[in-house]
Structure 1
């Protein structure tokens, strides 16, 4: 080895040590779903571009993530520099001053490319407080082979009655095939996300215009009774423990005839690497009851920066990378266009390569555009939000209600008792909060 080479290697080593010493660490809290796990796997591309930033991940189950992040940001704990949050939290936390405004993300970010419905849900007083990583609605995913074997044809816009008929026809318990898989795990973002959206299509609502809880109405009784009947007769065993990830695994292994859930799941059920039924999946709009509302929601998992973070500029640099069009192209190059994060940018739905690779793209966009957070149910409501109510009290209240409905699904109480207790809980909560 020459003296010159030794000197060069020594200088390189010293530079690496110096960079490591100067590197700023950001801690990112995220949910344990496929798109977020994929992002973690691609982090080296970011750190190669930004050797002065070190990234540490905290990956949690959805309910645990929400609890940890909410506690940390409400107390100003400063544990995280980037947090994965949804369309429910962002407007409330942004208005409270708990989040850093993302008004200067750079020209390459192209904020005007964000889908209007998604951008609007993350904006307070003209300021963007989180950047969408992926957006979603909900829709029907179904086995085309089982539907054909049952002698049925899925309409593009099915009714709930058709869903029940198809679930009955596709159920084959002897072979562990269940006609329908739906969320049963308790949580405001788990079973209550699904049931709140479903209730809208039955004409139910959380509150009337005077903020009086509505669980004692016929519309809510019809919603919960129909759901329990559907799942008891045609759903998988142990459904009260199943959330998004559990139902995804059931569908991918051929155990679900239909699954009504987040549109983002479409790339996972059609990916032959992960899904045993990838070649036999069709898509339809979320069901309705002929009342003018479908049971589909509107959501975006987004990345935000707590005001308590001491690494805000580094956090902003990461968010600009992870939610950019360039990141989308990186995923396309590594995993294929069908696997890019959907539902955030207009340009993605103008990209023919994506449209050709993703048979679910059009249905996803239609579902997102048809959800109306300002008028989610048949009757007027005093709140915004399709599968949630955009008030601070909702998360705690809906989690308690979700526990009641999950218990009813487990056979521990009747629908009538669950609704009666939900009405009492909601009434007490709203009175205590001054509504």
Structure 2
């Protein structure tokens, strides 16, 4: 799912009546023969995914190129979508094109409810696909989805505070980042409410950047099987740096909560925080408290040991349900939406395009988006396994590991071992 936004979908049990929501009759695409007469292509995209101006233009062009075809476009809500998709994909009245979260894709692929598009991938601009999402669109060596778009975190900071503290340029590595923190504390530390960096104890997305920067990972893969690897020396080194950052930053964020509890953008909006690790659109949330923050906020990639660290890329994929009655049209739709023309429009809207390596429109839109675009070139994802759905739906053991280690409740060896155990159970359950 769209993990970056915290719009949880896994734990909501909602029974949805789907009669009348899917494509028209006929068996187009399954035998290669398109039926005669009017046809209807049902497309489900998620709320907030595609600007209306983009979809209006896209659907007008698609219908013009396919006389007699009508695109039935339905915007879905993230809340409850897991159950709605599960029901729809198991029915004989499935939509024809769906957007699914990148962490959902392996689960649905394993269940056999998505169409294998391996032979068609080249036509979906595959040579330009975003590397951070490619793994999630693949299962057992076959292609079941197409990257749609993504976003990743950057360090958002107060340019005026940096200038006042004598920080001439944004940090480019860990050492410079820690030095900037010390300068900010020296300038503003007399204010007991000041925080050089607001960093919640359970911001596991940020932790992943440090683990990957050290050469570690959440898990190692052997075919479709995954084994947790949070106890590796590299992963432990990333965890140690997270703790160092928490301790040296003077953050007052809770160690037992994530970036949404309380909402970190609101804390930044209070004017007492110089930096936080977040997504570009969190600036707008902060600016609700202080409109000046829109102009006073800059951004830089999360620093690694010797340059930008790898970043977690949350995002969405597009797929064709195996039960789609218009698979031939669905493939044509994916070809159009994955083209450079429409992917550039996603970049202009402030998102990282999934099927285009051209992020020039994103880089030129504003400094915050430019930093995200720069960081996106080294994007990664969580293990591409159906077992990750269990992690999303329950209490993430990486969060528990962070809290236990930061509070001293567990040693680093015990905290990582316990997290590995929970992850391996989830992976085995898949």
TM-score where L is the length of structure 1: 0.63
Tell whether the 8 Å contact from 1:171 to 1:177 is kept in structure 2 after alignment.
yes
Q: Does 1:369 align with 2:377?
A: yes
Q: Does 1:132 align with 2:147?
A: yes
What is the deviation of 1:356? Answer: 4.1
Tell whether the 8 Å contact from 1:328 to 1:341 is kept in structure 2 after alignment.
no
C-alpha distance in 1, partners of 2:276/2:115?
Answer: 37
Query: What residue in structure 2 maps to residue 286 of structure 1?
Result: 302
State the SS of the aligned residue for 2:300. Answer: strand
C-alpha distance in 2, partners of 1:358/1:293?
Answer: 19
State the SS of the aligned residue for 1:396. Answer: helix
Query: What residue in structure 1 maps to residue 352 of structure 2?
Result: 342
Correspondence for 1:100 among 112, 115, 121 = 115
Structure (1 or 2) with the greater helix fraction = 1
Deviations 1:80-116 (A, max 9, x none): 6544335545456546644224454896x64444456
Q: Does 1:219 align with 2:237?
A: yes
State the SS of the aligned residue for 2:208. Answer: helix
Deviations 1:176-227 (A, max 9, x none): 7643345667xxxxx4333223333356543579946545975365255336
Tell whether the 8 Å contact from 2:167 to 2:180 is kept in structure 1 after alignment.
no
Deviations 1:301-357 (A, max 9, x none): 3222332445545654554454433334656xxxxx7535324355634x5x66544
Q: Does 1:147 align with 2:156?
A: no
C-alpha distance in 1, partners of 2:181/2:59?
Answer: 50
Tell whether the 8 Å contact from 2:348 to 2:365 is kept in structure 1 after alignment.
yes
Tell whether the 8 Å contact from 2:404 to 2:410 is kept in structure 1 after alignment.
no
Tell whether the 8 Å contact from 2:43 to 2:97 is kept in structure 1 after alignment.
yes
Q: Does 1:196 align with 2:208?
A: yes
Q: Does 1:297 align with 2:275?
A: no
The runs of 5 or more residues in structure 2 that have no matched partner are 1-23, 25-36, 64-68
Query: What residue in structure 1 maps to residue 42 of structure 2?
Result: 26
* Structure 1 residues 166 and 265: alpha-carbon distance in aligned structure 2, compared to 1, 3 A threshold: farther
* Structure 1 residues 354 and 220: alpha-carbon distance in aligned structure 2, compared to 1, 3 A threshold: closer
* Structure 1 residues 43 and 104: alpha-carbon distance in aligned structure 2, compared to 1, 3 A threshold: same
Tell whether the 8 Å contact from 1:26 to 1:54 is kept in structure 2 after alignment.
yes
What is the deviation of 1:146? Answer: 1.5
C-alpha distance in 1, partners of 2:257/2:348?
Answer: 31
C-alpha distance in 1, partners of 2:422/2:142?
Answer: 34
* Structure 1 residues 236 and 317: alpha-carbon distance in aligned structure 2, compared to 1, 3 A threshold: farther
TM-score where L is the length of structure 2: 0.63
C-alpha distance in 1, partners of 2:182/2:109?
Answer: 45
Which runs of structure 2 are paired with 1:407-418 in the superposition (5 Å)?
414-416=408-410
State the SS of the aligned residue for 1:26. Answer: strand
State the SS of the aligned residue for 2:341. Answer: helix
Tell whether the 8 Å contact from 1:132 to 1:303 is kept in structure 2 after alignment.
yes
What is the deviation of 1:401? Answer: 0.8
C-alpha distance in 1, partners of 2:396/2:247?
Answer: 22
The runs of 5 or more residues in structure 1 that have no matched partner are 1-18, 186-190, 332-336, 372-385
Q: Size of the alignment, in residue pairs?
A: 376
C-alpha distance in 2, partners of 1:249/1:133?
Answer: 29
Tell whether the 8 Å contact from 2:211 to 2:238 is kept in structure 1 after alignment.
yes
Correspondence for 1:53 among 52, 71, 75 = 71
How well do the aligned residues superpose, as a CA RMSD in angstroms? 5.1
Tell whether the 8 Å contact from 2:133 to 2:147 is kept in structure 1 after alignment.
yes
C-alpha distance in 1, partners of 2:78/2:179?
Answer: 36
Tell whether the 8 Å contact from 2:300 to 2:371 is kept in structure 1 after alignment.
yes
Which runs of structure 2 are paired with 1:330-409 in the superposition (5 Å)?
338-344=348-354, 346=356, 348-349=358-359, 355-359=363-367, 363-371=371-379, 386-397=380-391, 399-404=395-400
C-alpha distance in 1, partners of 2:229/2:70?
Answer: 52
Tell whether the 8 Å contact from 2:93 to 2:324 is kept in structure 1 after alignment.
yes
C-alpha distance in 2, partners of 1:151/1:417?
Answer: 38
Tell whether the 8 Å contact from 1:397 to 1:429 is kept in structure 2 after alignment.
yes
